[in-house]
Amino acid sequence: MNKLIKLVCFGMLFTSTTILAQAPGFTERKDPEGYITGTVVSENGPEAGVWVIAETQELNTGFIKIVTTDDDGRFVLPQLPEVTYNLWVRGYGLVDSESIEGRPGDRDVELSAVVAQNAEEASRVYPPDYWLSLLDVPGDEDLTAENGFAPNFVPSQKRFLHEFKSDCHFCHQLGNAVTRSVAHMDHLGFDSHEEAWQYRTQLGVRGGSMFGNFARFGMQGMARTMANWTRKIEEGALPPQPPRPEGIERNVVVTLRDIGGDHDFMHDQITTDKNNPTVNAFGPTYAVSSGHGTLAVVDPITNDSYFYTIPTKEDPRIVRGRFPAPGQPSNFWGMEHLWGPDYNPSDPHNPMIGPNGRVWMTSKVRNDQPEYCGRNSSNKFAQYYPLTFSNRQASVFDPVTGEFELIDTCFATHHLQFGTDPDNTLYFNELLGPAFGWVNTRIWDQTHDEELSQGWCPQIIDTNGDGVITRPWNAWDAAEKDPNLDTEIRNNMYTVIPDPNNSDIVWGASENTGESFPFGSIMRLDRGDNPPETCITEVYAIPDPGFDPRGMDLDSEGNPWVALAGSSHWATLDRNACPVLNGPGTETGTHCEAGWTLYQTPGPKLGNSDTPADFHYFGWVDQHNVSGLGKDTPIITGSNSDSLIALDPETAEWTYLRVPYPLGFYHRGLDGRIDDPDLGWKGRSLWANYGNHLIWHTEGGKGTTGKMVQFQIRNTPLDY
């Protein structure tokens, strides 16, 4: 079948039910039922809590299935397509076993596990946060100009950790095999690890950004900090052995499918509508390739992988991209401009699926701002709060037609999320701007009028306490604030999430740091009944010891949960516990410290600190119990520990959903889909993707492609 026709046919089948269509010629979409059973045995006997990996290249895209052994070393690999697999064993305390072939229907297979002969052999498969925990963080007393640091930028260890995690983990893992060594650069003849680190941060398409961030810490001090880490490892230092999976962790089934190419930068993925996780049941999963300007697709039923190019309104040859050419040659790609002018400049960042199955994205459609965004236009939002810049706008893909629609927005876009109102309002955050923005998708579908269907609100705090926002207000940068006026803040947001019970209320998280919010904040916007005039914002500063908010979600009651990427906390705010919500001083966000609860993740900590070495890029609250772990379970991304990490707030206990192979599961988010509620665990999955800027840092090296990752939680390790 012709590829394009094939794609459109797939698109026609996507519905929110188990059966795609009843017309003749269509068949039921369902997962395969084949399975393999067996036991893992080593010289020590049955091996409990180790991973059995089934891997094949006989399907339309690469396919991996991973399960964990029970107390007696038994395993069941479920839902396997009818092909031949290489079966092998990985586990903590072991070295990878030789593989044997197996097919669905094989029973009582015995796999021979190999016990590691020493700690160094065992450590090769440890997650990167364990290796990063060997890095010693400078203390307050070390961060001086005499020691080569920039104390105006990193005056304290807390600030160092905030910037270190935010800047360095923003693009990739630290502690994986490539980053914890400089040996692959030995041929360049560096005299020291310090010299190697100063060089390696300049390389490739992200070299300018890396080098600039590295230098802000103080070049000599930062180079020494990183060099001490890699030198220590080179001299034989090893991290502690991680615990093997226990309890529920042994019930996890992980399925990976290849997606994209060997230098795609797959930022985020989506499988369903957050507000109705049965949408797109059994349908394709989508990821956006920021570097290539494409919407990549994997069909988990047919195991097909393909992509669509996301268009721009202006000629793509003149639309400005955000990835500069390399200044120094990459160790892997030389001077190739991986995400340069030879690729589409639409720069998609984040996709979401709406209630009718269309895929909405934040993507770049043009260069210059429309006139209706400015002060001199008749647009009521522009007259109230004009916007002069947006570096990314919006697009929507219809799987039925295979076509894109492009929507220009006055506000910049980054992440996006649907409300639950009849207008299907789609909210956006501004990463580089001061506004909450939205598109009324009902009006868009009716009129295709970009100006009419969008709106935005600034962040204005009711600091005079009269319950309304009136102009003039105190400017955000005013040296002195009039206590009789309301007050503007400008906190660039990393996240946006509407209240599931009231779509006029929307929250956002901001990494912004400064005198007012030294370690970030979250904001709450109430649009009221006549925005922008009725818009009121509240702000809540992140309390000590937390810092660096990034991902955010709400539970089904509308309570915010925010992932503190730097301090490694899940934090939640009970707004009902706030003694006041507005009035003088509330612009500082410190009026509700009693409402916060912080839960720190339990992974290994960086040396000389109380901060875990994990990094939590984003978070997600399971409002519909897709995972089976319970309604409103908060799940945080272990972006530096190859895992999703679920919290039980009542017991403060954590459950790790680990991806042990290939190492390098750096992910930026997740979602959950119900394919069939009557199928139990088989009909429910969590989904994420490998979102590393540098996919060739994944285990397997150059040539490795991205992966779409599916998590299912069985009732026992032996369910099939």
Residues 511 and 574 in one domain: yes
Which two three-digit tokens encode residue 276? 């109705």
Q: Does residue 441 fall inside a structural domain?
A: yes
Sheet containing 294-299: which strands, arranged edge to edge? Answer: 266-270, 285-289, 294-299, 304-309
Residue pair 623/555 in contact by the 8 Å Cβ criterion: yes
Residues 103 and 146 in one domain: no
Three-class secondary structure of residue 226 per DSSP: helix
Name the residue among 717, 561, 578 with its Cα closest to residue 645: 561
49: CATH: 2.60.40.1120
Residues 456 and 563 in one domain: yes
Q: Is the dihedral of CA 654, 655, 661, 666 positive or negative?
A: negative
Residues 6+ apart with CB under 8 A from 663: 125, 127, 128, 176, 177, 642, 698, 699
Residue pair 298/289 in contact by the 8 Å Cβ criterion: no
Residue in the structure block whose two tokens are 């669509």: 308
Which two three-digit tokens encode residue 55? 């891997």
Q: Does residue 201 fall inside a structural domain?
A: yes
Residues 426 and 557 in one domain: yes
CB atoms within 10 A of CB 514: 7
Residue pair 599/607 in contact by the 8 Å Cβ criterion: no
Q: Does residue 262 fall inside a structural domain?
A: no
Residues 40 and 97 in one domain: yes
Residue pair 611/605 in contact by the 8 Å Cβ criterion: yes
Say what the pLDDT of residue 129 is: 98
Q: Over the range 461-478, which residues count as b (16 or more CB within 10 Å of their CB) and which as e?
A: bbbbeeeebeeebbebee
Q: Could you list the residue range(s) of the whole structural domain that residue 479 is in?
A: 414-598
Residues 509 and 424 in one domain: yes
Enumerate residue ranges in the chain where pLDDT < 70: 1-27
Burial class (CB in 10 A: 0-12, 13-18, 19+), 703: exposed
Say what the pLDDT of residue 2 is: 32
Type of residue found at 665? F
Residues 591 and 478 in one domain: yes
Q: Does residue 344 fall inside a structural domain?
A: no
Residues 445 and 497 in one domain: yes
Number of domains in the chain: 3
Q: Does residue 7 fall inside a structural domain?
A: no
Q: Does residue 693 fall inside a structural domain?
A: no
Residues 6+ apart with CB under 8 A from 284: 10, 14, 297, 298, 299, 300, 399
Which two three-digit tokens encode residue 575? 């707004």
CB atoms within 10 A of CB 343: 22
Q: How far does Cα 464 stand from its chain's mean position?
A: 38
Domain finish residue from 108, 123, 138: 123
Q: Does residue 277 fall inside a structural domain?
A: no
Say what the pLDDT of residue 432 is: 84
Residue pair 508/416 in contact by the 8 Å Cβ criterion: no
Residue in the structure block whose two tokens are 């369903």: 272
| pTM metric for this prediction | 0.95
CB atoms within 10 A of CB 288: 32
Residues 500 and 468 in one domain: yes
Q: Over the range 523-537, which residues count as b (16 or more CB within 10 Å of their CB) and which as e?
A: bbbbbbeebbeebbb
Residues 50 and 119 in one domain: yes
Q: Does residue 62 fall inside a structural domain?
A: yes
Domain finish residue from 123, 138, 171: 123
Residues 110 and 140 in one domain: no
The kind and range of the H/E element at 404 are strand 403-407
Residue pair 674/282 in contact by the 8 Å Cβ criterion: no
Residues 51 and 155 in one domain: no
Say what the pLDDT of residue 299 is: 97
